Structure 1
Amino acid sequence: MKRSWQIFWHIFSWICVIAFFASIARYSGKMTTKAVAVIFGLYGIINISVFYVNYLLLIPKFLNRKRYKLFVLSIITTLIAYGLLKYGVGLIFKDIILDRMKGQSIGFWKYFLNTFFITLIFLFLSTVLKFTIDWFLNERVQRDLENQRLTAELSFLKSQINPHFLFNSLNSIYSLAYQKSDTTPEAILKLSEIMRYMLYECNDNKVDLSKELQYLQNYIDLQKIRFGNKAFINFEVLGEVTNQQIVPLLLISFIENAFKHGIANDAQHPIQMRINVEGGRLYFFIQNKKHSHNRDAA
């Protein structure tokens, strides 16, 4: 919300509050127009100024900086200062303020204590409002930071996956085309679907689980083609896949590493992959036989 709109809503809210109570007092017939103007107009402005002295000055300068002793001292000083100010205004409008109770003048200490509690209420309300707004702002900042972190992690993950995977896939497709293999069109189609998903469909923090599983299936199918259909891979999805969502590209690193560091063409030790969707949770299991030598350079 822009600052101008914040100021507008603050002013509008105070006008509504003052007008509401002033109209009740006026139409009850117990107060004259002058008394209503002084008590709800002039004193209303004074009380509102107490509210914003605490809201804009005392809390940011002392309380937010954990200078608690200075904050308490400033609150006490404000209570005393505004008590004296209100009594001074009461002396100016003595017939309306101090002499309004059956002609008996209200003494200083009695009037001071009455205004003391009213001032304290406005200080309390401003403190509650300040902490409430700050809490909501902090929550929004935390959500924005979390979204930025997830976006950065997703971008980093995509940057790690794309080059390695793309070059290997293109090399495999080139080999298939060179051999005039009938699986070349299928391999190109699978790669096209994978790249479309990675570039256009997984830019949000969450994607449909069904799309993510289809992406994994396409990746596995492309790897099978790359191994000339001599890869032994067991991939199964258990449970009901409906409208669940998942962080995109969360599982692909495990699957990619299974092909990169594992042995896929051993019938006795196939790559085992199992996804179980159960009770709002996703369980992922993967197992592969590891190469005896390092394939990081591959």
Structure 2
Amino acid sequence: MNYNETGGIMKKRANGPKIRVVLHILVWAILLALPLYSVKRLQFSSDFLLIYYSYTIINGLLFYANYLLLIPKLFFRKRRISYYLSALALIVCFYFVADISNNIVIGYLEKKNPEGLERRLPPPRGMRLRVPVAGPHVMGYVSSSLLIVFLSLGVKVLERQSRIEKMQEEMEKAKLNAELAFLKNQISPHFFFNTLNNIYSLIDINAEDSQKAVLKLSKLMRYLLYESEQGDTKLSYEIDFMKNYIDLMKLRMSEKVSLAVDFPEVNDDISIPPLLFIPFIENAFKHGITTRGRSFINIGLSSTSEVLIFKCSNSIAGKGPEDRQPGIGLENVKKRLALLFPGKHDLFIDKHDDEFRVLLNIKLS
């Protein structure tokens, strides 16, 4: 994973708590603003706001006492019995806090309005201005308090689950990037090893052609060192890379080898992971050329806005036992395809009699 990706993940983690704080503030702002509409719409006295806000503040304190203290310290640490007992004790404590607060508020309003608050401020249906210490209203308080406690529990659990899922996604992405980097780093040395072997064998045959081969190799190295390290690369760049590689291989081909290459003119809107097709081409030149008879290699690429199709076929030269092994290149490209295009690619490899065929379809959208 590169620095930018790491920084992006850290930034997302830092922004997560900020977003939650903003959402909490927004919800409470709506709850505090609702009675302002009700006072005008339903023609309640402005004194109703004081009572409403006192209840809302107490309920908010109950919500966050459970949300910030009991749930992280007890519930998430698997101390469930302690949590439920503490939540019950919290509800009882806040009942007395609510009763004291209610008496203070009502006492203040009665002093402000000596002729009688009940006549001046008729409470909404189901609400009493004073909270009795016993009776059906106690059950109403307990019910509403339980609702607040379980609401805060639900919010906290959902937030925690969301954080866990995001962390798992980030870890999977980091693991994927590490695996892709490992596979790509395996491909490059393998590619250079084969290419240098070809140039070495060419030196004894034709010194001038070997100089051309070194020049071609320098272009390939430039691509591998710079372009392929930028993440995805333009399809046109990848095609140029494959052409240079094929030109390098042609320097040591005899007239007995039939080579057909069909690369289309493509626009720069299509980007692909680098070095995606070169292992198949390497494999074709490694196993498809023989000095004992005629052989062939056919390479083709076509694309639309939705799919990319790569085809490669070659004769089987029938070399030594070590050349009949699939090799690290093909195994790596299979793993890369599985990681880069899960469910979006089809790879068909067929070895039949004296011919080896590869067909790769990649969905671009």
TM-score (normalizing by structure 2) = 0.64
1:147-197 deviation digits (Å, cap 9, x = unpaired): 1211111112222222232243254257532xxx3x455333311111111
Quick one: which of 275, 289, 294 aligns to 2:315? 289
Separation (CA, whole Å) in 2 of partners of 1:60 and 1:159: 49
Quick one: which of 232, 243, 246 aligns to 1:220? 246
Separation (CA, whole Å) in 1 of partners of 2:55 and 2:305: 62
Separation (CA, whole Å) in 2 of partners of 1:159 and 1:58: 54
CA contact (8 A) 1:271 1:288 kept: yes
Matches within 5 A, 1:102-121: 102-106=128-132, 107-121=137-151
Shift of 1:220: 0.9
Matches within 5 A, 1:1-298: 1=10, 14=24, 18=28, 21-22=31-32, 29-31=46-48, 38-53=54-69, 56-58=72-74, 60-62=76-78, 76-77=84-85, 79-95=87-103, 101-106=127-132, 107-173=137-203, 175-177=205-207, 181=208, 183-227=209-253, 231-237=257-263, 240=266, 242-263=268-289, 268-278=294-304, 280-294=306-320, 296=322
Change (3 A) 1:175 1:54: farther
Separation (CA, whole Å) in 2 of partners of 1:15 and 1:224: 69
Separation (CA, whole Å) in 1 of partners of 2:76 and 2:192: 48
Report the count of equivalent residues.
284
Separation (CA, whole Å) in 1 of partners of 2:314 and 2:16: 60
The DSSP-based 3-state class of the residue aligned with 1:122 is helix
Residue type of the alignment partner of 1:283: I
Separation (CA, whole Å) in 2 of partners of 1:97 and 1:109: 22
Gaps of 5+ in 2: 1-9, 40-45, 108-122, 324-365
Change (3 A) 1:32 1:256: closer
Alpha-carbon RMSD: 3.6
TM-score (normalizing by structure 1) = 0.76
Separation (CA, whole Å) in 2 of partners of 1:280 and 1:265: 41
Alignment-derived partner of residue 66 in structure 1? none
Separation (CA, whole Å) in 1 of partners of 2:187 and 2:227: 15
Gaps of 5+ in 1: 63-69
Change (3 A) 1:5 1:238: closer
Residue type of the alignment partner of 2:310: F
Shift of 1:118: 1.9
Shift of 1:39: 3.5
CA contact (8 A) 1:205 1:247 kept: yes
Alignment-derived partner of residue 334 in structure 2? none
CA contact (8 A) 2:59 2:145 kept: no
Separation (CA, whole Å) in 1 of partners of 2:294 and 2:89: 88
1:189-232 deviation digits (Å, cap 9, x = unpaired): 31111111112111244222221121111111111112366642
Alignment-derived partner of residue 114 in structure 2? none
The DSSP-based 3-state class of the residue aligned with 2:295 is coil
Shift of 1:94: 4.2
Change (3 A) 1:277 1:9: closer
Q: How much identity, in percent, do the aligned residues show?
A: 24
Change (3 A) 1:202 1:39: same
